[in-house]
Amino acid sequence: MNPNITTLPKVELHLHIEGTLEPELMFELATRNHIALPYHSPEALRKAYQFDDLQSFLDLYYQGANALITEQDFYDLTWAYLLRCAEDNVIHTEIFFDPQTHTDRGIDFDTVINGIHRALIDGERQLGISFGIIACFLRHLSQESAFETLTSVLQHQDKIIGVGLDSSEVGHPPQKFQQVFDQAKASGLYTVAHAGEEGPAQNISDSIELLHVSRIDHGVRCTEDPELVDMLIQTQMPLTVCPLSNLKLKVFDEMTQHNLVTLLDKGVAVTINSDDPAYFGGYMNANFAAVDEAFKLTNPQLAKLSLNAINASFIDEPTKRVYRQKIQHWLDNTK
């Protein structure tokens, strides 16, 4: 791996905490919770991680989440991710969780958020990693169910900074959630949405215009609409791109065909993120390394990717300034 990737301070903005559940921990939790898994070993489970598209991944991902039951499980899950962040020099992370994946099987919202939040507080104190938490609505479920979830989110607004939209994009366009996003925004929450991953470029424009999002998660299909790309550049609307995820879910066949670096060089505010690293083959450094292998990133390009993420984050301005200085320091001291 390019050693400059290792030392670059990074900010992660697109990470589903349930997608960090490594097979080994899944087995440990299943044993602890007396749950039977449909695989005989972590290795057998890992071998099943071959996906044709988003839906084939989501089926396994929701099944895996069944191992998470207690507040301690959610703590352990999040703590394991934070240790990986520390290894990869991630200085700030804004993580997603999917409340309905858990509440729909009888786990209390409080159990989930309290476990995740407690680990992030410990991570901030012990590892120096700042954080934000974003609750995602599952778009294959109804807006009514999203409204119920929003009620719980608002009871934990001291811990949750925003809401997002994930799960099956095709057939579940942004307009399905316009009212619940309006209410979230009116309540002071930030909004983001997955769009233009498997769905068309129109979903990106609609998420911006109808859901008033601050960032687009994925967004790689923007290139199908040159006017949209121009608008993304003008408005500096951030895209949280996930290169290894896109390869695993066959959004692109080869990393050399990925449009991330073209978009970066054109001035789109793209960032690199790991999405569901336990399923897609790597955390932040692995994602940067995969792009670097295909495109040979220069130090200014690497720095720009981190700066884009700092600008796109929901960190307060004084902290953003400190983080930008870290990138400048890296750039000044890296050959």
Instruction: Pick out the residues of the known binding site for Zn(2+).
Output: 14, 16, 194, 275
Q: What is the dihedral of CA 102, 103, 107, 110, to 10 degrees?
A: 100
- How many residues bind ligand HPA (CB under 6 A)? The answer is 11
By beta-carbon proximity to ligand HPA, the closer residue of 89 and 246 is: 246
Which of 51, 323 has the CB closer to ligand HPA? Answer: 51
Q: Which is nearer to Zn ion, 196 or 303 (CB)?
A: 196
Interface pick for ligand HPA out of 93, 101, 111, 245 (rule CB under 6 A): 245
Q: How far is the CB of 275 from Zn ion (least distance, A)?
A: 5
DSSP at 196:
S
- Which pair of tokens denotes residue 51? 């996906």
**Out of 22, 76, 166, 292, which residue is the one contacting ligand HPA (CB under 6 A)?**
166
Q: Is the CB of residue 162 less than 8 Å from the CB of residue 189?
A: yes
DSSP readout, 266-291?
HT--EEE--BSHHHHT--HHHHHHHH
Determine contact, residues 77/20, Cβ cutoff 8 Å: yes
Binding site, residues? 14, 16, 194, 275-276
Query: Please, which residue, 123 or 219, has the CB nearer to ligand HPA?
Result: 219
Q: Which residues are annotated as a binding site for substrate?
A: 276
Identify residues 29-88 at the interface with ligand HPA (CB under 6 A). 54, 61
Nearest approach, Cβ of 194 to Zn ion (angstroms)? 6
Is residue 275 close enough to count as binding Zn ion by CB under 5 A? yes
CB atoms within 10 A of CB 126: 11
258 contacts ligand HPA (rule: CB under 6 A):
no
Strand 90-97 versus strand 215-218 pairing type: unpaired
User: Which residue in 88, 206, 275, 292 binds ligand HPA (CB under 6 A)?
Assistant: 275
Q: Is 197 a catalytic residue?
A: yes
CA distance 231 to 259: 17
User: Is the CB of residue 34 less than 8 Å from the CB of residue 133?
Assistant: no
CB of 168 to Zn ion, least distance (A): 12
Identify each DSSP E strand in the chain by its residue range.
Answer: 10-12, 90-97, 130-138, 162-166, 190-195, 215-218, 239-241, 270-272
Question: What CA–CA distance (Å, rounded) separates 164 from 277?
Answer: 19
**Span from 20-28, 114-122, 221-229, 274-282 in contact with Zn ion (CB under 5 A):** 274-282
By CB under 5 A, the residues from 103 to 162 that bind Zn ion are none
Exactly one of 89, 100, 167, 205 binds ligand HPA (CB under 6 A); which one?
167
* Cβ(159)–Cβ(149) below 8 Å: no
Q: Please state the length of the chain.
A: 335
Please pick, from the candidates 5, 13, 17, 19, the single residue that binds ligand HPA as defined by CB under 6 A. 19
Q: Which stretch binds Zn ion (CB under 5 A): 38-46, 182-190, 254-262, 270-278?
A: 270-278
Q: Nearest CA to 67 among 32, 19, 98, 97?
A: 32
Catalytic residue among 18, 71, 197, 198: 197
**Residues noted as catalytic:** 197
Site of interaction with ligand HPA (CB under 6 A): 16, 19, 54, 61, 166-167, 194, 197, 245, 275-276
Provide the binding-site residues for Zn ion, judged by CB under 5 A: 275
